[in-house]
Amino acid sequence: MTAKFTKTYVAGAEHIDELGHVNNAIWVQWIQDMSTSHWEAAARPEDRATYFWVVTRHEIDYRGNVAEGESVTGTTWIEGSARGATSVRRVEFRDANDKVIVSAATTWAMLERASNRLARVRPEMLDALTKEPD
């Protein structure tokens, strides 16, 4: 089973655009925050100390939005196996009615901190992110 990570966001005045709802750029920030928070919470300490991730691609579908003061619950998980230095992550944001209003597939590349060079993602590195805790 795939481990999922969940986090709640509340739309503040600083997140709202001229249309009166959360700006698309904020959704991208929240997607990145979800992913890095999941890594920080679940990855092995030695992997967090040695590696970091950068986004190489975002594919986002917007199906709804929220206004100031409203909250969304984001859920993220790793999809499939890593390919070389990259891994695909899914993110969904649900509104108060449990409707998916934003979904994304993002591709992340892992880099070694010491060199800033791409590093192959070994299966055991993603175990903490992809396996349900015992």
In a domain, 13, yes or no: yes
What is the CATH classification number for the domain harbouring 113?
A: 3.10.129.10
In a domain, 43, yes or no: yes
Q: How far apart are CA 73 and CA 93, in angstroms?
A: 5
Helices 123-130 and 24-42, axial angle in degrees (round to 10): 110
Q: How far apart are CA 96 and CA 82, in angstroms?
A: 33
What total number of domains does the chain contain?
1
Per the structure, the complete domain to which residue 99 belongs is given by 5-128
Q: What is the pLDDT of residue 133?
A: 57
In a domain, 95, yes or no: yes
Answer positive or negative: Cα dihedral of 29, 133, 129, 106: negative
Q: What is the pLDDT of residue 1?
A: 41
Calculate the alpha carbon distances from 45 to 6, 40, 83, 97 in Å.
Answer: 20, 9, 22, 37
In a domain, 134, yes or no: no
Which tokens hold the place of 76? 């993220």
Residue 134 has pLDDT above 60, yes or no: no
In a domain, 29, yes or no: yes
pLDDT digits (tens, 9 = 90+) for 18-50: 999 999 999 999 999 999 999 999 999 999 999
pLDDT digits (tens, 9 = 90+) for 51-101: 999 999 999 999 999 999 999 999 999 998 899 999 999 999 999 999 999
> Taking the complete model, does pTM exceed 0.85, yes or no?
yes
In a domain, 109, yes or no: yes
Judge whether 72 and 15 are in contact, CB under 8 Å. no
Which tokens hold the place of 52? 């970091």
Q: How far apart are CA 2 and CA 11, in angstroms?
A: 28
